[in-house]
Amino acid sequence: MEVTSLCLLLSATLNIHPHRSHFFWYEHIALSCETAALTSGNWTVKRNTSSQTFEPCSAGWGIPQGSSCIVQYAYPADSGVYWCESEQGCCSSSLNITIAGGAVIIAAPPLPVTEGDEVTLSCHYREDENGKATSNFSAKYYKNGVFRGTYPTGTMTFTSVSTSDEGFYTCEHPTQGESPQSWMSIRRRAQPPPLPPPPPPVLSVPRLVCIILLIIVYVVLSVVCVTVHRKWARARAEAKRASDQL
């Protein structure tokens, strides 16, 4: 319970550069734990791969630099789940990283994006290990295996992404084949809190005076009516009594 309460105060986000989850062989990857302004303590980048679990950056797969970790030459064995972890055992959200063995990858947001944001997917091709990747070609895009369209610039842009856009995306080079699929996650935009009920209307002084006068008039008329009715009833009773005596 104490650790849970502490983790609510200590929070961190795992950032990655380049800002995507798929990489080519031998690419340079920078991972860093970004913490809130009031968060203190040391954070470490850790990972789970197909061969090892809970490996800290200092285990040899990366170069630790404070709360950051540098992967100089990425290999397929570096594919796995990465996260930030504090000395107290608090963890950030995790990030799936894939080191592709092919010549084509898709660049999609590595972290969930918010509903309504503008999002761009890009298709990258690299001829060989020493070459520079390019996205300057006409690319086909697929979502969950269904063709979405051909984009001459190699990029697919959502001007206002919605939850229906969430899914697995792949792109295809005209001659070099298709990329591995990448998951794009969409989170709903937080709804603003409901407006408080309007305050009761404030009565102006003249209106308040009118209401008081109406109440007084109503009370006076009610008293008069009751008095008149009693006198009439008493007179009627006396008249009946007198007629009975005759």
In the predicted model, what is the mean pLDDT of residues 35-49?
Answer: 80
pLDDT tens for 114-164 read 999 999 999 999 988 778 899 999 999 999 999 999 999 999 999 999 999
Q: How high is the pLDDT of residue 3?
A: 46
pTM equals 0.71
- Per-residue HEC secondary structure of 100-161 comes to CCCCEEEECCCCCEECCCCEEEEEEECCCCCCCCECCCCEEEEECCEEEEEECCCEEEECCC
Q: Judge whether 1-101 and 103-190 match in fold.
A: yes
Least Cα distance to 98 among 14, 182, 18, 171 occurs for 182
Per-residue pLDDT band at 8 (split at 50, 70, 90): low
Rounded Cα–Cα distance for residues 236 and 143 (Å): 96
Which residues have a Cβ under 8 Å from the Cβ of 185 and sit 6 or more positions away? 109, 111, 112, 113, 166
In the predicted model, what is the mean pLDDT of residues 60-66?
Answer: 94
Per-residue pLDDT band at 39 (split at 50, 70, 90): low
Please report, for the chain, the start and end positions of each structural domain, with discontinuous segments joined by +: 1-101, 103-190
Q: How high is the pLDDT of residue 164?
A: 95
pLDDT tens for 75-125 read 999 999 999 999 888 899 899 999 998 999 999 999 999 999 999 999 999
Look at residue 22 and give its three-state secondary structure.
Answer: strand
pLDDT tens for 200-238 read 776 667 777 788 888 888 888 887 787 877 887 777 777
Which of 2.60.40.10, 2.60.40.3080, 3.90.380.10, 1.20.950.20 is the CATH number of 1-101?
2.60.40.10
Q: How high is the pLDDT of residue 220?
A: 82
pLDDT of 190 higher than 60: yes
Instruction: Looking at the structure, give the CATH architecture of the domain made up of residues 103-190.
Output: Sandwich (2.60)
Q: How high is the pLDDT of residue 22?
A: 97
Partners of 182 in beta bridges: 169
pLDDT of 172 higher than 90: yes
In the predicted model, what is the mean pLDDT of residues 26-31?
Answer: 96
The rounded Cα 25 to chain-centroid distance in angstroms is 32
